C-alpha cells in the first residue's frame, strides 16, 4: 500500500504537501499486544494500518477496559495524534491485537499540512465522524441492549474478523472488550452453551449455531 491508498484526497494535495507527508513517513512493525498509544501521555502521530489489527479502548481508574473500535487494513488511527486537536479531551489507548505493519506520520507534520489543505482537513473530518459513529453505536448498545445481545454480537463479529467459528479467547478478554467482569461473561457463556449456541473448552469458544446466535443478537 502507498500513501495515496490511505488518502482518497491524495491527488488534491499539492506536490509540496505530498512530499512533506512522504518524507516524514515512518515504517513500523509491531508485535501483537504492543501498546502503541497511551492516552495523552504521548503523541504518537497518525497511524496508518497496512496489515494487521489495532484495538482502541478506554480504561477506568480501577483498570477496567472497554473496546471502542478496531482498526483494520487501510484504516487510519486519528486519536494516536489527538494532541493535534485541543478539543479532544479524552484518553484513548491503542494496542496491536495482531502482529501489525503500519506507517506513522508525526502529528505536527500532519497538522501543518491539514492547516493549509481544505481537502485534507475535510477528509480528516470524515475519519473523525466515522469513529464518532462507532462510539455512538457502542453507547446505544450499552444503553439499550441487554448483555446477552451484546455478547452474541461480539462473538459474531470476532468470528468474522478471525474467519473461524472457533474463537481463541478467554472470558477475561471478552470482559475487557465489553466492559464487564469475567464472572458475568462466564455465566452468560454457560447459558449460551445450555441453549446450544456455543461449545466451551479451555481457552476457546466455538459458535455451534450461528443462526440462533444471530437471533439472540436481535438482527
Nearer to a copy of itself, 137 or 203 (CB): 137
116 touches a copy of itself (CB under 8 A): yes
Alpha-carbon span 120 to 198, nearest angstrom: 46
Q: Which of 129, 139, 127 minimizes the C-alpha distance to 66?
A: 139
Instruction: Reduce the DSSP state of residue 150 to 3 states and report it.
Output: helix
Q: Which of 196, 203, 202, 209 minimizes the C-alpha distance to 168?
A: 203
Nearer to a copy of itself, 36 or 84 (CB): 84
Alpha-carbon span 217 to 219, nearest angstrom: 6
Nearer to a copy of itself, 72 or 135 (CB): 135
156 touches a copy of itself (CB under 8 A): no
What crossing angle do the helices spanning 15-23 and 107-116 adopt, rounded to 10°?
170
Alpha-carbon span 209 to 200, nearest angstrom: 13
Residue in this structure with the C-alpha cell 470476532, named with its chain if needed: 158
Which residue from 3, 72, 83, 88 is in contact with a copy of itself, where contact means CB under 8 A? 88
Q: Which of 112, 121, 113, 37 minimizes the C-alpha distance to 81?
A: 37
16 touches a copy of itself (CB under 8 A): no
CB of 23 to a copy of itself, least distance (A): 21
130 touches a copy of itself (CB under 8 A): yes
Nearer to a copy of itself, 18 or 209 (CB): 18
Stretch that binds a copy of itself, among 26-34, 42-50, 127-135, 166-174 (CB under 8 A): 127-135
Nearer to a copy of itself, 128 or 166 (CB): 128
Stretch that binds a copy of itself, among 15-23, 85-93, 192-200, 203-211 (CB under 8 A): 85-93
User: For residues 178 and 165, is the Cβ–Cβ distance under 8 A?
Assistant: no
Binding site for a copy of itself (CB under 8 A): 58, 60-62, 64, 66, 85-90, 114-118, 121-122, 124-133, 135-140, 142-144, 179
Amino acid at each position: 500500500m502507498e500513501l495515496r491508498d490511505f488518502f482518497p484526497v491524495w491527488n488534491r494535495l499539492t506536490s509540496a504537501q505530498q512530499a512533506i507527508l512522504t518524507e516524514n513517513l515512518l515504517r513500523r512493525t509491531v508485535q501483537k499486544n504492543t501498546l502503541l498509544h497511551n492516552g495523552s501521555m504521548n503523541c504518537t502521530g497518525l497511524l496508518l494500518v497496512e496489515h494487521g489489527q489495532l484495538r482502541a479502548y478506554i480504561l477506568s481508574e480501577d483498570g477496567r477496559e472497554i473496546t471502542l473500535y478496531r482498526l483494520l487494513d487501510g484504516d487510519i488511527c486519528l486519536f494516536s495524534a489527538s494532541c493535534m486537536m485541543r478539543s479532544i479531551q479524552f484518553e484513548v489507548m491503542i494496542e496491536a491485537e495482531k502482529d501489525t505493519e503500519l506507517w506513522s506520520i508525526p502529528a505536527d507534520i500532519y497538522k501543518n499540512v491539514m492547516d493549509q489543505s481544505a481537502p485534507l482537513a475535510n477528509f480528516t473530518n470524515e475519519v473523525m465522524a466515522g469513529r464518532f459513529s462507532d462510539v455512538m453505536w457502542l453507547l446505544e448498545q450499552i444503553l439499550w441492549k441487554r448483555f446477552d445481545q451484546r455478547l452474541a454480537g461480539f462473538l459474531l463479529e470476532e468470528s468474522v474478523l478471525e474467519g473461524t467459528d472457533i474463537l481463541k479467547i478467554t472470558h477475561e478478554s471478552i470482559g475487557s472488550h465489553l466492559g464487564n467482569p469475567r464472572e458475568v461473561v462466564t455465566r452468560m457463556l454457560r447459558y449460551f452453551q445450555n441453549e446450544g449456541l456455543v461449545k466451551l473448552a479451555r481457552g476457546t469458544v466455538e459458535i455451534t449455531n450461528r443462526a440462533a446466535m444471530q437471533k439472540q443478537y436481535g438482527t
